Amino acid sequence: MRRRADADFIRQLEGCSLATAEILYHMPDHLNLLQTYIWQDYDLAPKFPKLISFLDFWTRELEGPLHSVRVCHAQLIRPLELSYRNHELTIH
């Protein structure tokens, strides 16, 4: 039986990195108060299409207007950490 690789692991191999966004937004009923929302997903730096899509949804569907967004990302798998080997080990 073959096991399938985790989808997040495959996305990392394809170049995605773990992106975290701290979103500050104005409370809908009290516009002078700010609230924090943390968003995290695997995304492609530096354009971050998934984050942009989420922020578009936010501005289109949610009432709390955005104040600011701070983004950071980290590649969890780097090219030097992963290498392919052509070797097979048989244990009796």
Q: How far is the CA of 6 from the CAs of 53, 61, 83, in angstroms?
A: 24, 32, 18
For 26-84, the DSSP string reads E-SS-TT-EEEEEEEEEE-TTT-HHHHHHHHHHHHH-SS-EEEEEEEEE-SS-GGG---
Q: What is the pLDDT of residues 63-92, one digit of tens each?
A: 999 999 999 988 766 555 555 566 665 665
- Distance of alpha carbon 33 from the chain centroid: 27
Q: What is the pLDDT of residues 26-77, one digit of tens each?
A: 999 999 999 999 999 999 988 999 999 999 999 999 999 999 999 998 876 6
8 A C-beta contact, residue 60 and residue 37: no
The answer to whether the pTM exceeds 0.85 is no
